Amino acid sequence: MARYRWTATALCLVAVVAAQTHWLAPPVPSTIGFRNIPDDRFQQLRRQAMQFVEARPRRGFQLVERHQNAGFQIHCRGVPVLWLERRAQFLLLQATLDAEERARDVLQLRAIFQWQLQPLGHLEQVLAGVPEPVLKDRVLRVLAGEVPDGVRCGT
């Protein structure tokens, strides 16, 4: 009986440590692939992201440019939570799995982007190599619990 208690206690400790180290690591993205768009259209999306950040000056959001016309990221207190990346044949729109808790406002911007873009079909996404979060990432996300208040952005 005592052996089972020690085993259960050890498993709980492992889960707690895994959850705490999970928040220290950058969150795993949830990715969607879209058909490529012309430069002027991409710049319009970039301007929308800039307006999103500028409209929330004290909420911890920051726009981080990647290479010219290659993409941009929205950070929440230094942690990327949403990014749009331009690849040769398609666009990747990525949001972290914890975006709903860490930076809920960014989900509205993601929805606006999705509404304006044409998604790749499932087979096209697989052939393009669009990564999907694996079960382990989702389990770690559940074990980690809530995002601490000090690392949240927005309301």
Q: What is each CA distance from 95 to 3, 10, 38, 130, in whole angstroms?
A: 43, 33, 22, 13
The pLDDT, as a whole number, for residue 21 is 45
The pLDDT, as a whole number, for residue 71 is 92
Whole domain around residue 139: which residue ranges? 2-151
d(CA 106, CA 118): 20
CATH number at 53 reads 3.30.310
The total number of structural domains in the chain stands at 1
Residue-level pLDDT, tens digit, the chain, 155 residues: 666 566 655 555 445 445 444 444 444 446 688 999 999 999 999 999 999 999 988 888 999 998 777 899 999 988 888 989 998 888 989 888 788 888 888 999 999 999 999 988 878 877 877 766 544 455 555 555 565 555 667 65
